[in-house]
Chain A
Amino acid sequence: MSQTETTSKRPSRFTVRVKRQDDPRSAPYFQAFELEYRPNLNVISILQMIAAKPVTTEGKQVAPVAWDCNCLEEVCGACTMVINGKVRQACSCLLDELLAPGRGASGEIVTLEPMSKFPVVRDLFVDRQRMFDNLLKIKAWVPIDGTHARGPGPRETQEAQEERYAISRCMTCGCCLEACPQFTKDNMFRGAQIMAQAMYFNRHDTGKQLKDQRLDVLMGEGGVHDCGNAQNCVKVCPKEIPLTEAIGRAGRQITVHAIKKFFNAGK
């Protein structure tokens, strides 16, 4: 659809409803803002417009909405939120797409909510430390000897590189976790992202030195066994990380690992 085609059908104003929360302990509430339509707006520019003039539809001057973002090109993972009921990156979410015809009565309204699976810091800004802690837990690194000159790393086939590259684009955004029925605010489940990351490091020639330790974590509570295979995760991942394959591979590696452990224990 070309720009001129779409603009002619556009409203001159539109309404944004934001789920707000003043701090981690207080109760959430909704506020609506009416804004002037311009072509090419994305959700970040909408939030910037609100920040510049935080006045609600009732004409009340309020504190600007807090949110998290950085790159504005869908690569840093910061700006994840729930937009019209769907978890996604705010920076790559264009208003024109939200207002697209056929969206029913709510077509002119944009609803922004924070992710529900992570503690809210304020408004749309949530705390995803749990994801980084999980990376620490599974030893998400290649154990190199040190930074001194040692020549190149292991040679790698194009196929192996492509497989790893597909996973290494994961930006820790958490969309997959928000969509996962097994992942809740208070359980231990680590989710699809971490399984894919473990497989990423296990696939590398030096990285696989720590394979058993990673599998021990994935075998334990919150690991692969807690995954219900609903595959919601893969449907929402903005980076198209091959999560289904990663979960499958993690399951297979764990089976082999468990058998090995069982026999070693008997020795």
Chain B
Amino acid sequence: MTQGKRVIVVGGGLAGLAATVRIAEAGTPVDLVSMVPVKRSHSVCAQGGINACNDVARQQGYSEWQHMDETLYGGDFLNHQPPVYEMTHWAPRIIDLLDRMGVPFNRTTEGFRDLRLFGGSLFKRTHFAGASTGQQLLYGLDEQVRRYEAEGKVTKYEFWEFLAPVMDEGVCRGIIAQDMRTMEIRSLPGAAVVMATGGCGLIYGKSTMSMICNGAAAARCYIAGAPLGNPEMIQVHPTAIPGEDKCRLMSESARGEGGRVWVPRKKGDTRDPRKIPEAERYYFLEEKYPKYGNLVPRDIATREIFWVCQEGLGIGGGNMVYLDITHLPRETKDKLAAILEIYETFTGDDPRETPMKIFPAVHYSMGGLYTVYTPEERPPVPGDPLPGVVGLKHGAPDNMMTPLKGLYAFGELNYQYHGATRLGANALLSCIFDGLFCGLSVHNYALEQPASSNSTAAFQQAAEKEKQKAQKLIDNQGEHNPYELHQRLGLEMTAAATVVKEESRMQQARESVRQMKQQYKSIKLADAGGWTNQNLMFARALGDMLPYAEAILAASIARKESRGSHYRSDYTQRVDDPFHKTTVVSYDSAADEPKIDWEDIPLPMVPLRARTYGKVEG
């Protein structure tokens, strides 16, 4: 038992909850801080599934190694290999554990866990619970956390917002947080702090992500000195329905279950899609990528959709293509019910009867806080083709720690695992893996630390700083509206740094973000009150999104090549020398600018190869 020591976990999505379970189980009590009740975290949105090698696939020649290889190939080799090795090799036991927790995975006739096909693989290795897998997994972990809560080992701080890490002589000793209802700002000491605050989609205005995914927590750590890794790697998902408030995802599982993407062969064809005969439909993904078809990785599908629309082949000449599941048997459609309902609710059309109209949307951040780990050389397991392999040392205190000692980054916030593109159904895995595998690291690190206490000057200063910052925002009497500013930021980022990037457009965006930073100094809040002031929270988050946006742009400009999700029309090829490197972006506080360093990526197991997915030219 860690006498008097506690650990703070910020974020109660899959990563935060898995970490909480593991740390509490190891014997260190946890303070769990989240802006929303943890059961409402963004992870509930995940639809399609979670990947792991399994007995059936194994008998067809699949292995954990192959899962690793797919993840590296998908990520265009920008991923560090030892963490991917460990994650893919742990995946089967993670599924078993979730199964034991009672997650209602779909079943086969014999009562085994059912599997589906997903992007970037030719094997069925995706486990799922209907089309609401994330919700089911999150609840499974939430229930275990509640059990520890009942035992007094977990204390929840729900509706609390993380504002800053507290650094004392170079070591993270806790956080400053604010109660979103009473607006009380206080410090919380912790022998270690795990950040698990998810992605940053709101920087792009509308994305498929939830409203809490604004990247502000990440930005606050970045400003406090924790660098970002590969922030330019933003995934744009090929199939979403654009909406006024957000873009709603149509999961890859629709294609995994046999859904097909097409446009009419004739430009500007206005016929009802059901009346367009087979021969007059252009199944462009299937034609260009005969091997993977509709299940090429997302960045590839997204660019093909984008180009097809640029050529004027989009539906009615606009920016949409068809995602068609109408031909599938009823039982298959039933498995997709959860997502089909979303489509029907928000568009009014029944996708069982008529093809869905979809377009790409910002979806996932592969980049995030930069972290380190302790590699471990060991003999291979069955399926590994090498005499020696490199994984992670279980329990090593620095696994997934940022360069700020004692501050960890788990889940989507962590830049590891996915390189330049994340494969579908690998995110849930990486989030839970971070929590379960590295939770022990946090516990071990905490063991070595002195007991937590928030009596030092560092805590008081940090809390005072946040109180002043909030007061300043409230008192500000400027002319700029934070919502309007956010809208402009979103439009600018979407135009400059998504599917296709190009130098001069990005420079222009950098200039406008610089201007927005100036304008931000003279914003005016519509609410000066001291109770549940959502206006203040929004405006403060916006202030942190701006430097994060600058980091995305600066890294995108600096990476003069195309790799995975990062596609440059002015540098269309992957250039390994010098760009097979991690972009490490640190915040230069004196200049208020991002500073870029490059770090080599070791290739201890799988050598680099070209990423083509069997494309045929034509």
Which residues of A come within 8 Å of B, CB atoms?
1, 3, 22-23, 38, 40-42, 44-45, 48, 51-54, 61-64, 66-67, 69-78, 91-92, 94, 121-122, 125, 128, 132, 135-136, 139-144, 146-147, 149-153, 155-158, 161, 164-165, 168-169, 171-172, 201, 204, 206-207
Whether B146 and A140, one on each chain, are in contact in the complex, defined by CB atoms closer than 8 angstroms, is: yes
A72 to B240 CA separation, bound complex (whole angstroms): 14
Enumerate chain B residues within 8 angstroms of A38, measured Cβ to Cβ.
244
Q: Closest chain A residue to B95 by CB distance?
A: A152
Q: How far is the CB of A54 from chain B (nearest CB, A)?
A: 5
- Knowing A70-B210, A71-B210, A158-B109, the reply to whether A147 touches B436 (Cβ < 8 A) is yes
Enumerate chain A residues within 8 angstroms of B147, measured Cβ to Cβ.
139, 141, 143
Whether A70 and B132, one on each chain, are in contact in the complex, defined by CB atoms closer than 8 angstroms, is: no
Q: Closest chain A residue to B156 by CB distance?
A: A132
Q: What are the interface flags for B569-607 relative to A under an 8 Å C-beta threshold, 1 for contact and 0 otherwise? A: 000000000000000000000000000000000000000
Q: What are the interface flags for B392-427 relative to A under an 8 Å C-beta threshold, 1 for contact and 0 otherwise? A: 000000000000000000000000000000000000
Number of cross-chain contacts by CB at 8 Å: 189
A204 to B101 CA separation, bound complex (whole angstroms): 10
Q: How far is the CB of A236 from chain B (nearest CB, A)?
A: 16
Chain B interface residue count: which class? 35 or more
A42 to B41 CA separation, bound complex (whole angstroms): 21
Q: Closest chain A residue to B481 by CB distance?
A: A52
Q: How far is the CB of B353 from chain A (nearest CB, A)?
A: 14
The verdict on B8 contacting chain A, using a C-beta distance below 8 Å, is: no
Q: Closest chain B residue to A26 by CB distance?
A: B531
Could you give 6 example pairs across A and B, Cβ below 8 Å? A77-B39, A78-B36, A141-B144, A144-B144, A155-B111, A169-B130
Whether A71 and B40, one on each chain, are in contact in the complex, defined by CB atoms closer than 8 angstroms, is: yes
Enumerate chain A residues within 8 angstroms of B526, measured Cβ to Cβ.
51, 54, 61-64
From residue 114 to 147 of chain B, which have CB atoms closer than 8 A to chain A?
129-130, 132, 135-136, 139, 143-144, 146-147
Whether A78 and B40, one on each chain, are in contact in the complex, defined by CB atoms closer than 8 angstroms, is: yes
A136 to B39 CA separation, bound complex (whole angstroms): 13
The verdict on B529 contacting chain A, using a C-beta distance below 8 Å, is: yes
- Which 4 A-B pairs rank lowest in CB-CB distance, beginning with the nearest? A153-B99, A141-B143, A52-B483, A142-B102
Q: What are the interface flags for B330-371 relative to A under an 8 Å C-beta threshold, 1 for contact and 0 otherwise? A: 000000001000100110100000000000000000000000
Q: Closest chain B residue to A89 by CB distance?
A: B345
A236 to B102 CA separation, bound complex (whole angstroms): 27
* Contact pick for A171, options B22, B25, B135, CB 8 Å: B135
A171 to B483 CA separation, bound complex (whole angstroms): 29
Enumerate chain A residues within 8 angstroms of B100, measured Cβ to Cβ.
142, 144, 150, 152-153, 206
Whether B181 and A121, one on each chain, are in contact in the complex, defined by CB atoms closer than 8 angstroms, is: yes
Q: What are the interface flags for B142-163 relative to A under an 8 Å C-beta threshold, 1 for contact and 0 otherwise? A: 0110110110000000000000
The verdict on B211 contacting chain A, using a C-beta distance below 8 Å, is: yes
Enumerate chain A residues within 8 angstroms of B37, measured Cβ to Cβ.
78, 128, 132, 172
Which residues of B come within 8 Å of A, CB atoms?
21-22, 25, 36-37, 39-42, 44-45, 93, 95-97, 99-102, 104-113, 129-130, 132, 135-136, 139, 143-144, 146-147, 149-150, 181, 210-212, 243-246, 248-249, 338, 342, 345-346, 348, 436, 481, 483-484, 526-527, 529, 531-532, 534-535, 538
Do most interface residues of chain A lie in helix, strand or loop, or is the interface mixed?
Answer: loop
* Contact pick for B104, options A94, A135, A165, CB 8 Å: A165
A14 to B503 CA separation, bound complex (whole angstroms): 44
Q: How far is the CB of B533 from chain A (nearest CB, A)?
A: 8
A201 to B93 CA separation, bound complex (whole angstroms): 22
- Knowing A71-B42, A75-B44, the reply to whether A161 touches B107 (Cβ < 8 A) is yes
A69 to B211 CA separation, bound complex (whole angstroms): 7
Enumerate chain B residues within 8 angstroms of A165, measured Cβ to Cβ.
104, 106, 129-130, 136
* Contact pick for A40, options B149, B181, B244, B535, CB 8 Å: B244
* Contact pick for A125, options B22, B96, B212, B532, CB 8 Å: B532
A121 to B532 CA separation, bound complex (whole angstroms): 8
A161 to B334 CA separation, bound complex (whole angstroms): 14
Whether B211 and A64, one on each chain, are in contact in the complex, defined by CB atoms closer than 8 angstroms, is: no
A229 to B447 CA separation, bound complex (whole angstroms): 54
- Knowing A70-B40, A158-B109, A168-B136, the reply to whether A41 touches B483 (Cβ < 8 A) is no
A65 to B101 CA separation, bound complex (whole angstroms): 40
Whether A75 and B45, one on each chain, are in contact in the complex, defined by CB atoms closer than 8 angstroms, is: yes
Whether A158 and B150, one on each chain, are in contact in the complex, defined by CB atoms closer than 8 angstroms, is: no
Q: How far is the CB of A175 from chain B (nearest CB, A)?
A: 15
Q: Closest chain A residue to B106 by CB distance?
A: A161
Q: Closest chain B residue to A141 by CB distance?
A: B143
Whether B40 and A157, one on each chain, are in contact in the complex, defined by CB atoms closer than 8 angstroms, is: no
- Knowing A42-B245, A64-B534, A144-B101, the reply to whether A169 touches B342 (Cβ < 8 A) is no
- Knowing A70-B42, A72-B210, A140-B143, the reply to whether A157 touches B111 (Cβ < 8 A) is yes
Q: How far is the CB of B62 from chain A (nearest CB, A)?
A: 18
Whether B44 and A136, one on each chain, are in contact in the complex, defined by CB atoms closer than 8 angstroms, is: no
Enumerate chain A residues within 8 angstroms of B129, measured Cβ to Cβ.
165, 168
Whether B483 and A156, one on each chain, are in contact in the complex, defined by CB atoms closer than 8 angstroms, is: no
- Knowing A125-B532, A155-B112, A165-B104, the reply to whether A70 touches B135 (Cβ < 8 A) is no
Enumerate chain A residues within 8 angstroms of B244, measured Cβ to Cβ.
38, 40-42, 45
The residue in A1, A42, A141 that gathers the most chain B C-beta atoms within 10 A of its C-beta is A141
Q: How far is the CB of A43 from chain B (nearest CB, A)?
A: 9
The residue in A61, A153, A171, A201 that gathers the most chain B C-beta atoms within 10 A of its C-beta is A153
Enumerate chain B residues within 8 angstroms of A91, measured Cβ to Cβ.
245
